Structure 1
């Protein structure tokens, strides 16, 4: 028996809704799958049927519509949102929250809609969207309804969604010129960290005084909450140190945290006050961006792809015990795999195709050892259902070389002794090669950000970073030599 009984690749919203109506509580929508696959592996959710909506065209829409609202479709990924000029300009807290989710390959698959539906009180985007007063649109066979995000949650990982409903949209007003917003998060490490606490703040300013304040707090209650007393204390007041300190204290009083492995309740309250104070001080200085990169400088690991879903034909079904083949291209070769319909792409590649360069590490999206390219985008094979590969183009570490010639990143890893035990190396190489395709001359900071989802327990990372820098130089020299040869031939 596989991880699920049946996997449907829907090609229209209507078909996805029909399947939800047919299977009810036995079904679950899968988009990025970055939360759902872990829940299935841990058996905290055990859906018999998965309904994949990633091939439906238009669901990755992110734009300002004529109604004056910013609309996000259910397939907008964290990477798309973080790199959106529209969100960075008019909904900065959301862009900051998305940039803080996971690491590049995880952000390339994980969706905002999935983050909302998972309903963890520690989820980053919920806090930002609460401060933005967002609404969600739910669709079923009976029609649509709009729900304020404030009314969407009923408890820890619980929402008002019915089993047959699909979240088809997220909408909110863009921040006006007189408004500022900011998102801050405390994790136990810089990346791949679940929030110990997080805070989103939106302020309206009239001159030197606050005309409106919205403070949302995450990971300090069963659901993301607002801090109404702190908001009221800021209203009509100047944003000076005295009022900032008062608001920070009132926000901490609004928190109702618990003790857990990431932090005690006392620590969380202290951190709420610290984050609110830090956020308000940044807004008072008119410096809300913090360390968020500009869209054009973000290392996304998309390569030359626009990260758009590939459209399929009619709805495709893959049954765990069925003989339907998963047909795709891997390293330039067309393959048809049977018997892998109920597993992950990681195990299909290793167990069915013998491509063992893609490594089994954490199987939770936290180590990067299973990084591969799907349709030109770096993804984590451990969190990708095998049937999602149907009709795609996959590249693994085995396909990176051309004949006997190694990729410049591979050559640089050898030259710089950037390998010790080597278990993590394939993931690092795949991420680094995609970065150099995307950014031929990355800065050291961009290299570090691009490799942030790849963990190494041996090297200390320095030689790996140096190897990527050297590979960049080698590629530049090859391009320069090729250009010189072209000019010589023309003359």
Structure 2
């Protein structure tokens, strides 16, 4: 799918590569959109991938000297969800990130990547637009900061030049007198593209609106602000009559189309309904209802902190101070899978899923959809559950991976595997490895999960046979009296 894959270790190297290759190159971080576009031939001419995930300090979430909230280009959706700062000061964004895909997708997908893809249905663009966000782009030529109105130029079109990298996202954090929320309508609860989405932020002075910001997603070529509704709300009390009128004005701002997810008339009506629903929540202070206090992230670290982006050991840097993997080149992928070191040749242009199955013969990891929809290919990459069909194989260089073959301890099944057998949670078995991997990470993260937390963990895993009830029971059984996962404790005598 690509001819060369670079893993630079500094921002300067990234900008140098972009200047050298221009239109032929694309930056990859999560890759949850880009890999599918390459697979489908939607990025003609792209031959070079530049992986920025080994550059330190690009995943920071901070309040800057300017008082704005800043997100680095490697901040993932799950990092936003886990961030107390984002949940308190940027709740619309946190809620939107929680609505993205599944835990495995949120562990890899970045907010910056979601913005650059520039689909009007992308969830995080909507709250960021409502929170007056800007993006900073950098190239070897210099830096520039753009508003969202300047950055977005149409469906999947931005103002970013081929030699530029998005290096910062900045937004106005919620002030003490402000409330905000994000609502999304999809065709299913998880893994759903928006039919309509709405982000609303209101500043209140007493019981009157001092300022309102309303952004609408999936109803125009780009995200749109409902300017007339915002102006109407200023100085008003959020009575039912006022909310109904604001909903009508927001509806008038939408320019929806008919497509496979819904007709234009339905989208327009849902804009009105969701705008009214959001304003009622903000009036009543109920916008955080349904948002979990302890979101399931599928990270193996029980302390609730993300595992830092891991640097590549110096001995594995293969070319000119950076890592280079050519599709037909001699550079091997050196990785650790299930505690064993592998040196893999000829897999540099594959996905991690295909490398595991074709080159390492670890066929327990299944290919169901190859699009990040089913979860059958779930593995643990550097401590996080991911969809291996959406990870480039060269990302495994210097990484640690666990597959379903590495879950058992010798001849002894993992407690979750044994519980799957006892509960009859296995039928055709094709999806089972993905469920096992998600469940194992869940039990590391939350040793005694609630049924709702189990459902959250399995949001990215599909099963056509069991109806899920026996799978949930198996996790509940394994949670009782289980030992430490993955790590063997030293024997005592």
Residue 417 (structure 1) aligns with: 424
| Distance apart, 1:476 and its partner CA | 6.4
1:123-134 aligned within 5 A: 123-134=122-133
1:396-411 aligned within 5 A: 396-411=403-418
Q: Does 1:311 align with 2:311?
A: yes
- Choose which of 35, 38, 41 in structure 2 pairs with 1:40: 38
Residue 302 (structure 1) aligns with: 299
| Distance apart, 1:227 and its partner CA | 0.5
Residue 265 (structure 1) aligns with: 264
Structure 2 Cα separation of the partners of residues 116 and 476 of structure 1: 42
1:427-466 aligned within 5 A: 427-466=434-473
Q: Are the counterparts in 1 of residues 196 and 217 from structure 2 also a CA contact under 8 Å?
A: yes
| Distance apart, 1:474 and its partner CA | 3.7
Q: Are the counterparts in 1 of residues 426 and 432 from structure 2 also a CA contact under 8 Å?
A: yes
| Distance apart, 1:150 and its partner CA | 2.1
Structure 2 Cα separation of the partners of residues 85 and 477 of structure 1: 28
| Distance apart, 1:321 and its partner CA | 1.1
| Distance apart, 1:311 and its partner CA | 1.3
Structure 1 Cα separation of the partners of residues 147 and 339 of structure 2: 47
| Distance apart, 1:221 and its partner CA | 0.2
Residue 6 (structure 2) aligns with: 8
Q: Does 1:344 align with 2:344?
A: no
Residue 77 (structure 1) aligns with: 76
| Distance apart, 1:290 and its partner CA | 2.8
Structure 1 Cα separation of the partners of residues 47 and 286 of structure 2: 48
TM-score (norm 1): 0.96
Q: Secondary structure at the match of 1:440?
A: coil
Q: Are the counterparts in 1 of residues 103 and 457 from structure 2 also a CA contact under 8 Å?
A: yes
Q: Secondary structure at the match of 1:136?
A: strand
| Distance apart, 1:65 and its partner CA | 2.0
| Structure 1: 4+ residue segments shifted above 2 A | none
- Choose which of 386, 391, 400 in structure 2 pairs with 1:393: 400
| Distance apart, 1:477 and its partner CA | 11
Structure 2 Cα separation of the partners of residues 59 and 477 of structure 1: 32
| Distance apart, 1:69 and its partner CA | 1.2
Structure 2 Cα separation of the partners of residues 420 and 361 of structure 1: 16
Residue 58 (structure 2) aligns with: 59
- What do residues 368-420 of structure 1 show as CA deviations (whole Å, max 9, x unaligned)? 00000011111110000000000000100001111100100100000000000
Q: Are the counterparts in 1 of residues 353 and 388 from structure 2 also a CA contact under 8 Å?
A: yes
Structure 2 Cα separation of the partners of residues 10 and 99 of structure 1: 30
Structure 1 Cα separation of the partners of residues 351 and 464 of structure 2: 25
- What do residues 306-353 of structure 1 show as CA deviations (whole Å, max 9, x unaligned)? 232101243100011112100010011100000000010000000001
Structure 1 Cα separation of the partners of residues 156 and 189 of structure 2: 24
Structure 2 Cα separation of the partners of residues 307 and 105 of structure 1: 14
Q: Does 1:368 align with 2:366?
A: no
Q: Are the counterparts in 2 of residues 345 and 384 from structure 1 also a CA contact under 8 Å?
A: yes
Q: What is the aligned length?
A: 479
Q: Are the counterparts in 1 of residues 79 and 306 from structure 2 also a CA contact under 8 Å?
A: no
Structure 2 Cα separation of the partners of residues 255 and 83 of structure 1: 32
Structure 1 Cα separation of the partners of residues 269 and 149 of structure 2: 25
Q: Are the counterparts in 2 of residues 139 and 166 from structure 1 also a CA contact under 8 Å?
A: yes
Residue 391 (structure 2) aligns with: 384
Structure 1 Cα separation of the partners of residues 250 and 370 of structure 2: 37
Residue 180 (structure 2) aligns with: 181
Structure 1 Cα separation of the partners of residues 401 and 484 of structure 2: 28
Structure 2 Cα separation of the partners of residues 286 and 446 of structure 1: 24
In structure 2, relative to structure 1, the CA distance for the partners of 1:131 and 1:321 (3 Å cut) is same
Structure 2 Cα separation of the partners of residues 277 and 78 of structure 1: 27
Q: Secondary structure at the match of 1:236?
A: coil
Residue 234 (structure 1) aligns with: 233
Structure 2 Cα separation of the partners of residues 65 and 282 of structure 1: 30
Q: Secondary structure at the match of 2:480?
A: helix
Structure 2 Cα separation of the partners of residues 456 and 258 of structure 1: 33
Residue 141 (structure 2) aligns with: 142
- What do residues 62-97 of structure 1 show as CA deviations (whole Å, max 9, x unaligned)? 111222111100000000001111011111100000
Residue 165 (structure 1) aligns with: 164
Structure 1 Cα separation of the partners of residues 252 and 62 of structure 2: 37
Q: Secondary structure at the match of 1:124?
A: coil
Structure 2 Cα separation of the partners of residues 21 and 53 of structure 1: 15
Structure 1 Cα separation of the partners of residues 91 and 428 of structure 2: 41
Structure 2 Cα separation of the partners of residues 108 and 393 of structure 1: 15
Residue 30 (structure 1) aligns with: 28
Structure 2 Cα separation of the partners of residues 347 and 103 of structure 1: 21
Q: Root-mean-square deviation (CA), in Å?
A: 1.5
Q: Are the counterparts in 2 of residues 17 and 141 from structure 1 also a CA contact under 8 Å?
A: yes
Q: Does 1:89 align with 2:88?
A: yes
Q: List runs of 5+ in structure 2 lacking aligned partners.
A: 315-320
Q: Secondary structure at the match of 1:473?
A: coil
Residue 210 (structure 2) aligns with: 211
